[in-house]
Amino acid sequence: MNNADNTFINRDIVRISPELVKQAAEFQAAILADVAGRRGTLHGRIKPVASTMKVAGPAITVEVRPGDNLAIHAALAIAQPGDVIVVDGKGDISCALIGEIMSTQAEASGIAGIIIDGAVRDADALAANGFPVFSAGLNPCGPTKSIAGRVNYPISAASAAIQPGDLIIGDIDGVVVLPRESVPALLELAQKKLDTETKRIAAIRHGDIRAPWLEKALLAAGMLNEGEKL
């Protein structure tokens, strides 16, 4: 493989539209994960550096060898405003893959956020700045910049399959990825679910405590007999 064959960096991807990103950003990651069939969530080790961080946008996918961030630098160079850089760092937290300098570069470039299945550093500065950074952990050790990785190819990051251009949504609960072609239908389902949950919370606050589906589910599971009530 060599760069002339464009085997390492793919610049030609189809992104989820900005209009759909804006709509999706109105929902919690949890709502979107539910309507997506409870699939597509990154492992719970992926957390925002600060609890207030939220991110939404099309994925720029990056695959690196553990402890090396050369391909992340390449992604920063080709990413467009609004993109979310998602890095398959193999879950390795022995060295940080980004810190304050690279996150500052990303923010200045208009990138929406960075998600890394690996470690980051300069956590105090990242948290104070507020630019969305999600990671699997922290480590003060810096990375190397010498091993070829890949940009904008399919990856598996933190147990989730991600295609370039897929929709990424992240908040305090974690990160979910939605296949680009499924987003319009999922957003319709998300609004319906949100409406239902809002009504249920209001009902609970007005005294309707017990879940309306509970006895039927218990009966189906064999935990209640026919005609038996709680």
Please check the confidence at residue 3 and state whether its pLDDT lies above 50.
no
Name the pLDDT band for 54 (thresholds 50, 70, 90). Answer: very high
Please check the confidence at residue 230 and state whether its pLDDT lies above 90.
no
pLDDT, tens digit, 9 for 90 and up, residues 66-112: 999 999 999 999 999 999 999 999 999 999 999 999 999 999 999 99
| Three-state SS at 225 | coil
Paired with 138 in beta bridges are 120
Which domains are delineated in the chain?
Answer: 3-179 (3.50.30.40)
Q: What is the pLDDT at residue 6?
A: 56
pTM, entire model: 0.92
Residues 6 or more apart whose CB falls under 8 angstroms from that of 176 comprise: 29, 32, 33, 36, 40, 41, 42, 168, 169, 170
Mean pLDDT of 153-163: 97
Q: What is the pLDDT at residue 5?
A: 54
Mean pLDDT of 220-224: 94
Mean pLDDT of 18-29: 97
Mean pLDDT of 221-227: 92
Within 10 A of 95 (CB to CB), how many other CB atoms are there?
19
pLDDT, tens digit, 9 for 90 and up, residues 94-104: 999 999 999 99
